[in-house]
């Protein structure tokens, strides 16, 4: 058996719950009142390091460093105002029937463990009957998906046999007893899963497999970041929409599927420097860093989104440790990205390989000021934007050769539905590359004319 061979299918479970769409749904642009903003800079940073020791610490235990503790699923459900009900039934003590009961289980991760309440969010339908509220966090769905990601991404084919598959064994029992709402059977299936994972952790097998994995694929990254979001930001989603209509501070998110395309188009890797100019709650920065291991920066002027980004960063660091994955080098700044040229981030800007500017709602003046910063970027830097910084009518001539638009080589791409939070429709995005060679023919022409 080759224990270094890891299954990397990273496949999302079939029958995806709308839970994974909660972020994009709740972050739709809402044109309402705007709070005052402050133009100050502060730093929060997570170093790039991988957990070096296996741990079987339970969620109830207190690890040496409390700042590295995950926010458990159990904790956010107990703190939620959402209506949750017991999902499973269990046999009565005298075996004369069954009853609904609120159960709790602990799930083993590759590098930690987490407690889950086995309840589900409910809402009354048109017939006044309770059904699943698919817009709210479902801890059972989270648990089952986590099991499958560990199975798919962290176990070799031989190790997967210890858990069975959809037709037999522990995985079969997990799904069977969930569908039958059999609490005793489901809890036993989780315990059986934990025993297998704990044994592999004790032997150092999961540590070895995690190192071979290097960085999570797109699907696993989405799952981890959904866990982070649901435990830190979800309850404040509505407050994120309280910004002035049609201002530069209108809040909207680019969804993970489009960010994944950005990563591919611009070839971001572990040696790259990425900057998100107006990073909001930090989702893009975290996704790019997780998938590539790059050095990633986010700058945000609005107070609440920046606070959310820093909360997400703390939870992200703890979760990546639990999944035994490297975090990437991540930095969040609270401040105005137009001040970067006069701040200590200026040196970082000049060595950036990829910039993201979600300028869909920016006014002309803001876009113009941003373009002036591009004059200081290194050759080959790529700028991703939702509006082009170069008018289609732009031509390099005596009047325009000194303008930033003249050193930008622009490509236009199409994105499809559900790629951004503010509309279900598709649209276009642009990748501009710093290319000063575009000026060479103009300068050569000037030189020839001067020699006549």
Question: Do the annotations mark residue 204 as ligand-binding?
Answer: no
In angstroms, what CA-CA distances link 122 with 74, 132, 225? Answer: 17, 4, 24
Helix (H, G, I), strand (E, B) or coil at 122: strand
Q: What phi and psi values does residue 90 have, to the nearest 5 degrees?
A: -130, 155
Binning pLDDT at 50, 70 and 90, where does residue 358 land? very high
Strands of the sheet with 84-86, listed across from one edge: 84-86, 119-124, 130-132
Binning pLDDT at 50, 70 and 90, where does residue 405 land? confident
Q: What is residue 71's DSSP assignment? A: P
Helix (H, G, I), strand (E, B) or coil at 391: coil
Question: Do the annotations mark residue 446 as ligand-binding?
Answer: no
Binning pLDDT at 50, 70 and 90, where does residue 23 land? very low
Question: Do the annotations mark residue 306 as ligand-binding?
Answer: no
Longest dimension (CA), the chain: 107
Question: Do the annotations mark residue 97 as ligand-binding?
Answer: no
Q: What is residue 386's DSSP assignment? A: S
pLDDT 10s digits, 248-288: 555 578 999 999 999 999 999 999 999 999 999 999 999 99
Binning pLDDT at 50, 70 and 90, where does residue 24 land? very low
Nearest by Cα to 211 from 391, 62, 51 = 51
Asked whether the beta carbons of 180 and 87 are under 8 A apart, the reply is no
Asked whether the beta carbons of 188 and 174 are under 8 A apart, the reply is no
The residues, ordered by sequence, that sit 6+ positions from 249 with a Cβ below 8 Å of its Cβ are: 34, 37, 243, 301, 302
Asked whether the beta carbons of 295 and 322 are under 8 A apart, the reply is no
Question: Do the annotations mark residue 282 as ligand-binding?
Answer: yes
Q: What is 208-238 written as a DSSP string?
A: HHHHHH-S--HHHHHHHHHHHHHHHTGGGTG
Q: What local confidence, expressed as pLDDT, does residue 66 receive?
A: 44
**Taking 70 as the threshold, does the pLDDT of residue 35 lie above it?**
no
Question: Do the annotations mark residue 262 as ligand-binding?
Answer: no
Helix (H, G, I), strand (E, B) or coil at 263: helix
What are the DSSP E strand ranges found in 272-320? Answer: 273-277, 295-300
Q: For the chain, what percent of residues have pLDDT higher than 90?
A: 58
Nearest by Cα to 273 from 38, 34, 48 = 48
What mean pLDDT is predicted for residues 181-196? 97
Q: What local confidence, expressed as pLDDT, does residue 451 receive?
A: 62
pLDDT 10s digits, 104-135: 999 999 999 999 999 999 998 878 788 899 98
What are the DSSP E strand ranges found in 253-304? Answer: 273-277, 295-300
Helical axes 169-180 vs 139-154, angle rounded to 10°:
170
In sequence order, the β-bridge partners of residue 357 are 385
Residue indicated by tokens 């598709």 = 426
Question: Do the annotations mark residue 332 as ligand-binding?
Answer: no
Question: Do the annotations mark residue 280 as ligand-binding?
Answer: yes
The average confidence (pLDDT) of the chain is 82
What mean pLDDT is predicted for residues 396-410? 84
What mean pLDDT is predicted for residues 242-252? 51
Strands of the sheet with 43-46, listed across from one edge: 43-46, 329-334, 295-300, 273-277, 354-357, 382-385, 427-434, 408-415
- Burial class of residue 409, CB neighbours in 10 A (0-12, 13-18, 19+): middle
Question: Do the annotations mark residue 279 as ligand-binding?
Answer: yes
Give the whole-angstrom CA distance, residue 361 versus residue 339: 19
Q: What is 5-39 written as a DSSP string?
A: ------PPPSS--GGGGHHHHHT---B--------
Higher pLDDT, 443 or 26: 443
Question: Do the annotations mark residue 283 as ligand-binding?
Answer: yes
Helix (H, G, I), strand (E, B) or coil at 379: coil
Question: Do the annotations mark residue 337 as ligand-binding?
Answer: yes
Q: What local confidence, expressed as pLDDT, does residue 242 receive?
A: 56
Asked whether the beta carbons of 413 and 430 are under 8 A apart, the reply is yes
């Amino acid at each position: 058996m080759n224990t270094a061979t890891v299954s990397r299918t990273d496949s999302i479970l079939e029958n995806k719950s709308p839970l994974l769409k909660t972020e994009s749904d709740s972050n739709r642009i809402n044109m309402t009142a705007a709070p005052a903003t402050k133009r100050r800079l502060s730093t929060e940073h997570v170093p790039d390091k991988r957990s070096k020791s296996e741990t079987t610490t339970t969620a109830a235990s207190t690890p040496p460093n409390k700042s590295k503790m995950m926010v458990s699923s159990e904790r956010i459900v107990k703190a939620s105002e959402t209506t949750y009900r017991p999902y499973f039934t269990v046999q009565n003590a005298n075996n004369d029937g069954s009853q609904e009961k609120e159960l709790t289980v602990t799930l083993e991760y590759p590098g930690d463990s987490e407690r889950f309440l086995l309840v589900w969010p409910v809402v009354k339908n048109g017939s006044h009957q309770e059904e699943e509220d698919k817009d709210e966090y479902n801890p059972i769905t989270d648990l089952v998906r986590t099991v499958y990601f560990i199975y798919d991404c962290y176990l070799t084919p031989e190790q997967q046999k210890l858990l069975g598959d959809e037709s037999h064994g522990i995985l079969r029992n997990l799904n069977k007893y969930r569908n039958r709402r059999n609490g005793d059977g489901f809890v036993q299936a989780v315990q059986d899963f934990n025993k297998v994972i704990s044994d592999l952790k004790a032997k150092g097998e999961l540590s070895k497999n995690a190192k071979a994995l290097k960085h999570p694929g797109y699907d696993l990254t989405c799952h981890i970041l959904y866990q982070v979001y649901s435990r830190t930001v979800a309850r404040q989603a509505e407050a994120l929409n309280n910004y002035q209509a049609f201002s530069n501070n209108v809040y909207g998110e680019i969804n993970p599927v489009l960010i994944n395309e950005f990563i591919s188009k611009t070839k971001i890797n572990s040696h790259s420097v990425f900057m998100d100019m107006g990073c909001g709650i930090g989702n893009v920065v975290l996704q790019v860093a997780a998938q590539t291991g790059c050095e990633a920066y986010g700058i945000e002027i609005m107070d609440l989104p920046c606070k959310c980004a820093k909360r997400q960063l703390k939870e992200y660091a703890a979760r990546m440790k639990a999944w035994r994955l490297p975090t990437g080098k991540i930095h969040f700044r609270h401040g105005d990205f137009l001040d970067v040229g006069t701040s200590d981030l200026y040196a970082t800007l000049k060595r950036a390989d990829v910039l993201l500017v979600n300028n869909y709602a920016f006014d002309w003046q803001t876009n113009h000021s941003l373009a002036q910063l591009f004059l200081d970027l290194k050759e080959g830097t790529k700028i991703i934007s939702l509006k082009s910084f170069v008018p289609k009518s732009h031509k390099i001539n005596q009047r325009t050769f000194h303008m930033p638009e003249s050193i930008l080589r622009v490509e236009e791409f199409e994105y499809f539905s559900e790629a951004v939070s503010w509309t279900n429709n598709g649209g276009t995005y642009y990748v501009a590359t710093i290319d000063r060679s575009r000026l060479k023919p103009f300068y050569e022409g000037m030189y020839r004319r001067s020699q006549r």
